[in-house]
Amino acid sequence: MKSHRDRLILFDIDGTLLSADRSGYHAIERSMIDVFGAARGLEGIRLDGNTDLNAIRQVCDRDGRAFPDQEAISKFKDHYTTILRREIAGKGHLKPGVGPLLNALASSGRACLGLVTGNIREGARIKLDRFGIAEYFPFGAFGCEHPTRAELVGLAMRRAAELVGKPFGPETVTVVGDTVHDVASCHPWGVRCLAVATGSASRDELEAAGATWALDDLSDLGTVLNLLLDR
C-alpha cells in the first residue's frame, strides 16, 4: 500500500537524539575486554561517528587479532546489552528540542522516520527505550549490519521504500547527525544532511564537511520543520 509520506528523515542516535552519559562507551569497552580479551579496551578508538562493527574491527587490527566469528560476536552483543541496561539506568538526557521535534514530525503525516546508527540493533533499542522515543522509529539500519555508515544510509533508504511502498528520491531524504562522518555518509547517495553541533563536532566543522545545513541544536522547532519538510 502506498503512503502519502513524502519525506524520509533518518536520525543518528548518540549525540543527535540523546546523550547516554558514556554508558554505551563503558559497556562496549567492558565487553571488548571480557569477551575478546582486548586488555587495552577502546584505547585509540573513537566511537563518535563510528559503527560498533567497525570498532570491533579496529580493536582487532590494533591488537593483531583475527576478526571474531559469529559465535563470539553474538556473545559480545549479549554481554554488551546486559551491561548497557545496567549502566544507562537513570543516566543521560534527550538533546535540546528532540521531544517536540519527533512529536511534530510524527503528527505531520508527511515524515517517514527511521534510524541510521552505529549502534547494534539491541543497543539502539535500549537507548531509545530509556527516553521513551523508540515508538517513533519503526525501522532503521544498524551498526551490526555493516561497518560503513554510508552503506547504512543506503540500507535504510531501501527499508523505507519497502515500508511505504515507494522509493524516496535523494532530494526527499535527510540524515540528521552530529559528526562529520554522518555528513560524509550522505554524499554517495546525494541526500541532504542536517548536522547539529550537539556532539563532538563544531558547527564550523560540520559546515566544512559539506552539511546541507548546520545548526547549534534542534531546539528551534519552526526552523527545523521548515528544513526537513520543505515548508
Q: Give the separation between CA 46 and CA 29, rounded to whole angstroms.
A: 11
- The residue to which cell 531524504 is assigned: 173
> Residues 198-216: pLDDT tens digits?
999 999 999 999 999 999 9
> Residues 158-188: pLDDT tens digits?
999 999 999 999 999 999 999 999 999 999 9
pLDDT, residue 231, reads 73
Choose among 200, 203, 173: nearest CA to 188: 173
Question: What does R_g of the chain's alpha carbons equal in angstroms?
Answer: 17
Q: Cite the beta strand spans of the chain per DSSP E.
A: 7-11, 18-19, 93-94, 111-116, 140-141, 173-177, 192-196, 213-215
User: Around Cβ 131, how many Cβ atoms within 10 Å?
Assistant: 18
pLDDT, residue 2, reads 45
Q: What is the pTM of this model?
A: 0.96
Domain residue extents for the chain: 7-20+92-229, 23-88
Single-letter amino acid, residue 186: C
pLDDT, residue 184, reads 98
179: Cα within 13 Å, side-chain hemisphere: 20
* Domain covering 7-20+92-229 assigned CATH 3.40.50.1000 in the classification: yes
pLDDT, residue 4, reads 84
With a cut of 70, which residues of the chain have pLDDT below it?
1-3
